[in-house]
Amino acid sequence: MTRTILITGASRGIGRAVAIQCGRRGWSVGVNYAGNEQAAMATVTAIEAAGGKAIAIQGDVAVESDVIRMFDATEKAFGPITGVVNNAGIVAPGMKLVDMTAERFARMFAVNVTGAYLVARETARRMGTDRGGPHGPNLGGSLVNLSSAAARLGSPNEYVDYAGSKGAIDTMTIGLSKELAPVGIRVNAIRPGLIDTEIHASGGEPGRAFRLASMVPLARPGTADEVANAILFLLSDESAYITGALLDVSGGR
């Protein structure tokens, strides 16, 4: 069955890996990105090479009109959206909370919390069977939120702000899964651990996932594809009876 999936932050990292796996299933993908157009176009090319269809859509998840526009563009290109991966997220340089600025808090929560909530709201407005959603009442769409192991570890001395932003995603997932179950939308979250992507470089330490690998029971960082495998499961009908789950993909950490 063909699907239309919108993935926020799909130009790089975990979002890109999910997008390419969707392409392998022949699905159509809205590839949102913030600023790296070249990377987004490379993702589109990779999806098409894998057998799917794709468009790139620039937009900041923290801006309401951008979020609405990315849903509109995906629907216009490929028809009703049947799955959303709420993936875009940021970190900031590791430091203790005592040294963090108000500007840092504002951006962290704007992208990771307000952005994720806007994407979730738009998903509810478009995919719910009460809003003309594409499926019958027993086969709704799927929203997959990207939380983090940080939500339960707290990330002391590094990212207490980021960890809190992901705690909000866990809580939203639990509440929204109950709110949207009657309208056929399943809502689950993935909590990745240390995954080898460029997010660590954006926090100032490209080698962070490898530096901390000894703390992981499986003794290595995970790959973006290993996280994508779990996301594809939650997007697909193989997980039809799963909603409200917080799934750790963290090598046992």
* AA identity, residue 31: V
Query: Residues 148, 155, 173, 177: which binds ligand NAP (CB under 6 A)?
Result: 148
Q: Which of 200, 203, 244, 202 is nearest to 224 (CA)?
A: 200
DSSP state of 34: S
CA dist., res. 43 & res. 147, Å (int): 23
What backbone torsions phi and psi does residue 127 show, to the nearest 5 degrees? -95, -20
Query: DSSP for 58-108?
Result: E--TTSHHHHHHHHHHHHHHHSS--EEEE----------GGG--HHHHHHH
- Name which position in 197, 235, 243, 251 contacts ligand NAP (CB under 6 A): 197
111 in contact with ligand NAP (CB under 6 A) = yes
**Residue at token pair 């975990």:** 14
Q: Please state, in angstroms and rounded to a whole number, the distance separating the CA atoms of residues 123 and 120.
A: 5
Find the part of the chain contacting ligand NAP (CB under 6 A) among 12-20, 72-80, 152-160, 210-218. Answer: 12-20
Which position among 15, 52, 184, 251 is part of the footprint of ligand NAP (CB under 6 A)?
15
Q: How far is the CB of 177 from ligand NAP (least distance, A)?
A: 18
Is residue 18 a contact point for ligand NAP (CB under 6 A)?
Answer: no
199 binds ligand NAP (CB under 6 A): yes
Which among 18-26, 49-57, 72-80, 195-203 is the span making contact with ligand NAP, rule CB under 6 A?
195-203
Q: Which residues are at the interface with ligand NAP (CB under 6 A)?
A: 8-15, 32-36, 39, 60-62, 87-90, 111, 115, 146, 148, 192, 194-195, 197-199, 202, 209
Q: Just list the catalytic residues.
A: 162
